[in-house]
């Protein structure tokens, strides 16, 4: 099993993650989700050769939400680096 590292660039963290922290998303939850779903191979390939993860969660008020996370995969020997490219959250 390869070592998996999840990176969230500052640009994405400041724009998208910070905006949705009040909804219950934060960098820790996103990175744990991406790592586990990658290990379980629960993702889709996009035409741009990105991995698409779908995360369901609840806002603090109880409203169900869905977040789509586009991730670039880089493999270096026995190391896998997952880089969050963009995200989109919406109500269900």
Task: Check whether 1 has a pLDDT greater than 80.
Answer: no
Predicted confidence at residue 14, as pLDDT, reads: 86
Read off φ and ψ for residue 21, nearest 5 degrees: -65, -35
The 10s digit of each residue's pLDDT in 36-50 is 999 999 999 999 999
Q: Which of 6, 48, 49 is nearest to 27 (CA)?
A: 6
Domain locations along the chain = 3-91
Tell me the pLDDT of the chain averaged across its residues: 92
Predicted confidence at residue 60, as pLDDT, reads: 78
């Amino acid at each position: 099993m390869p070592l998996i590292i999840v990176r969230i660039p500052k640009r994405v963290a400041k724009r998208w993650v910070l905006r949705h922290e009040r909804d219950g998303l934060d960098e820790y939850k996103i990175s744990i989700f991406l790592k586990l779903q990658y290990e379980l191979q629960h993702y889709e390939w996009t035409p741009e050769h990105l991995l698409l993860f779908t995360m369901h969660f609840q806002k603090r008020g109880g409203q169900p939400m869905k977040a789509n996370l586009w991730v670039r995969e880089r493999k270096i020997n026995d190391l896998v680096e997952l880089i969050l490219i963009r995200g989109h959250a919406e109500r269900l």
